[in-house]
């Protein structure tokens, strides 16, 4: 929660902020009221965003007069909500936020994962993400892949389709009965 005030409105804004904080805590939410006077609201917005806080509540004198606060999502977008309703609304919003963040990560992972069957395609795929490829299971072959592409095996996925094929580098039969995930380590 970031209170926004001038000298003359400070006390009033903080009073409402403390009351809202109390009600949010009662609703079982984790909340922090950033009442540091030495930083501007903009500085605080930025700092909390970097920390990964999903929702920021902005409380200004005009919002309070209207009985509202501004709720800003880390995923983008702001909305005005009534102070009264906020504690009841936030748990669902947080669940939706979690789901949206997970979906975004999953979409990103899928968009950067490629099934490859040639070593050329393999090299290209690990430049920008994950390669799903067959491997012979031989340590020396795996080491050669690492030397040639800097990519290493990340995992043999539990849920992958059973599939047979030939090692993407050396052409010997696959050792795992399914494709293996390769990527560069960072």
Residues within the interface to Zn ion (CB under 5 A): 136, 141, 167, 169-170
Q: Which is nearer to Zn ion, 44 or 169 (CB)?
A: 169
- 3-state class percentages of the chain: helix first, strand second, coil last, to nearest 5: 45, 20, 35
In whole angstroms, the minimum distance from the beta carbon of 145 to Zn ion comes to 8
Q: In the complex, what is the shortest distance from the CB of residue 141 to Zn ion, in angstroms, rounded to a whole number?
A: 3
| Shortest distance in whole angstroms from residue 168 CB to Zn ion | 7
Q: Which is nearer to Zn ion, 17 or 136 (CB)?
A: 136
Nearer to Zn ion, 116 or 167 (CB): 167
State how beta strands 151-155 and 180-184 pair. antiparallel
Q: Which is nearer to Zn ion, 25 or 144 (CB)?
A: 144
CB of 112 to Zn ion, least distance (A): 23
DSSP letter for each residue of 77-139: -EEEEETTTHHHHHHHHHHHHHHHHHHHHHHHHHHTEEE--SHHHHHHHHHHSEEEE-----H
The number of CA neighbours under 13 Å toward the Cβ of 71 is: 17
């Amino acid at each position: 929660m970031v209170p926004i005030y001038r000298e003359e409105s400070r006390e009033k804004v903080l009073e409402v902020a403390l009351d809202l904080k109390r009600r949010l805590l009662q609703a079982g939410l984790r909340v922090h009221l950033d009442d540091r006077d030495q930083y501007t609201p903009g500085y605080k917005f930025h700092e909390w965003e970097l920390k990964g806080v999903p929702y920021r509540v902005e409380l200004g004198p005009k919002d309070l007069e209207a009985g509202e606060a501004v709720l800003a999502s880390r995923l983008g977008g702001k909305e005005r909500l009534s102070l009264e309703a906020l504690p009841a609304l936030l748990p669902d919003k947080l669940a939706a936020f979690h789901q949206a963040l997970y979906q975004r990560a999953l979409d990103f992972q899928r968009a950067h994962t490629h099934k490859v069957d040639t070593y050329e395609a393999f090299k290209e795929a690990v430049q920008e993400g994950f390669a799903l490829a067959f491997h012979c299971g031989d340590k020396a072959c795996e080491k050669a892949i690492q030397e040639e592409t800097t990519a290493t095996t990340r995992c043999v996925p539990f849920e992958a389709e059973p599939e047979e094929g030939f090692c993407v580098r050396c052409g010997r039969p696959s050792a795992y009965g399914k494709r293996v995930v390769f990527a560069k380590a960072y």
